[in-house]
Amino acid sequence: MLSSIERRSRREVGAAMSAEGFDGQQSGLGWQRRWELARGELTALTDSMRRGRLVSATVLPLPVRRTLLRAGGVRIGRGVAGLRRCRIDNPHVTIARDVYVNTGLQVEGRAPVTIGAGVMIGPDVLILTSTHDQLADGTFGPTIYRPVTIGERCWLGARSVVLPGVTIGDGVIIAAGAVVAADCREPGTYAGVPAKKVR
């Protein structure tokens, strides 16, 4: 039995195929190319749904949330808990064993994100992997993706932000609301904007 989303997606694909004639005679775009475009859009929609807030809804049991995120390409280790109302837009995420992910984690971009074993992630943490360089004329260049690595036994406080290209070492504590703009490799507590070692 098809879900309402699958039925709607099939209708949209059909509409795209027949908008100007399935054979492409009117538009000059062959049916094979139309099908490739429609299938690409459908795949992107499906991948987004498998990693979005729908799959981490609190009404779903934790084993179901983990399974759906894995189906979306997220690598999740044993004992990972939480995962409520998360949005993982990045298909290159690895979460090691025994990690607790509190409500509202958001992981953005396309570069790899690696979260080590035993990490505690507070509510509404944001991990970014994409950025733009500003050019000499004041405009912005193409999107640049930089990987993020979070070591083992770290604690990311509520609403902390991890910027692209950052490495957080083992045993590091990031205070609530901190913005991690540079590597924090040495164990200790980092706080502020940008985050600096305070203990």
Look at strands 126-127 and 148-150 and give their pairing: unpaired
Q: What are phi and psi of 100, to 5 degrees?
A: -110, 120
Q: Is pLDDT of 166 > 60?
A: yes
Q: What is the pTM of this model?
A: 0.74
Better-predicted residue by pLDDT, 50 or 17? 50
Q: At what angle do helices 31-51 and 4-18 cross, to 10 degrees?
A: 160
Give the pLDDT score at 22: 42
Q: What average pLDDT does the segment 162-171 reach?
A: 97
Q: Residue 41: its pLDDT value, please?
A: 61
The tens digit of pLDDT for each residue in 89-143 reads 888 999 999 999 999 999 987 899 999 999 999 999 999 999 988 888 989 889 8
**pLDDT level of residue 15 (50, 70, 90 thresholds):** low
Catalytic residue among 7, 70, 132, 185: 132
Render pLDDT for 35-80 as a digit per residue (tens, 0 to 9).
666 666 656 555 555 566 667 777 888 888 888 888 888 899 999 9
Q: Report whether 154 contacts 116 (CB < 8 A).
A: yes
Question: Given CA atoms 118, 125, 90, 13 in this order, what sign does their dihedral have?
Answer: positive
Of 22-31, 105-114, 132-141, 163-172, the poorest mean pLDDT is in 22-31
Q: Is 92 tagged catalytic?
A: no
Radius of gyration of the chain, Cα coordinates, nearest whole angstrom: 20
pLDDT reported for residue 31: 67
Name residues whose C-beta falls within 8 Å of residue 103's C-beta, 6 or more positions apart in sequence. Answer: 82, 84, 85, 86, 123, 124
Q: What is the pLDDT of residue 2?
A: 47
Distant-in-sequence, close-in-space partners of 23: CB < 8 Å, separation ≥ 6:
30, 31
Does residue 162 register a pLDDT over 60? yes
- H/E stretch holding 115: strand 113-115
CB 79, CB 59: distance < 8 Å = no
Evaluate if residue 185 carries a pLDDT over 60. Answer: yes
Domain residue spans of the chain: 4-51, 62-197
Q: Work out the average pLDDT over 182-188.
A: 95
Class of domain 62-197: mainly beta
